[in-house]
Amino acid sequence: MSFGIVIHPMHWSKDDDEQERIMNRYIEEQRQREAQLKQEFDEVVSLGHIPYPSPKDILVGNSRQYHGYPGNLEMDRHVQELSEQYGQIEDRIDKTVFALSLVKTLQEQGRRFLQRMDDHWAVVEDQIASRKVAQALRIFRRKSKP
């Protein structure tokens, strides 16, 4: 296989009609294979399994490689803008509500909070996303203190 195209020798006969039939059959087989692959992909996505994250997504997990992901960097930008306001909140419940409101804001921008499973990514619950945001707010507050 090369770039998604199966390469194998095509045996051409001297008869032009036969060549055309062989080529049409080959093209139809490729179309059917492509349709089958698309159907399998759609079935996986419909189960909530996301094969790969988009650049807008925010990756949840302990891996340092997630810190540089475009969606995570955008979340960090929001966290930086709001960390002062977060630091002024004293009540723990109010801090949780503040973090959840930032989660909702990011989701309204089309961002998903994804966690890596065995062979796919899955959208996490808002509570888990809220914990990630709250942790980022706390870390940024600590870093910005003199």
User: In the chain, what is the straight-line distance between the N-terminal and C-terminal CA atoms, in Å?
Assistant: 58
Cα distance between residue 140 and residue 93, in whole Å = 19
Across the range 74-83, mean pLDDT stands at: 93
Is the predicted pLDDT of residue 9 greater than 60, yes or no?
no
Chain mean pLDDT for the chain: 84
What's the pTM value of the predicted model, to 2 decimals?
0.66
Q: What pLDDT, in 10s, does the model give residues 11-45?
A: 555 667 777 888 888 889 888 888 887 777 666 56
**In sequence order, what DSSP letters do the residues of 76-121 get, joined into one string?**
HHHHHHHHHHHHT---HHHHHHHHHHHHHHHHHTT--EEEE-SSSE
Side-chain-facing half-sphere of 34: CA atoms under 13 Å: 9
**Where along the chain do its domains lie?**
1-47, 58-144
Cα pseudo-dihedral 118, 124, 129, 132, rounded to 10? -10
Is the predicted pLDDT of residue 131 greater than 70, yes or no?
yes
Q: What pLDDT, in 10s, does the model give residues 95-125?
A: 999 999 999 999 999 999 999 988 888 899 9
What was the pLDDT predicted at 1? 45
Is the predicted pLDDT of residue 130 greater than 60, yes or no?
yes
Token duo for residue 39 = 């159907």
Query: Is residue 144 within 8 Å of 137, Cβ to Cβ?
Result: no
Across the range 45-52, mean pLDDT stands at: 71
Q: Which residues pair with 115 in a beta bridge?
A: 60, 122
Sheet containing strand 113-116, edge to edge, reads 58-60, 113-116, 121-123
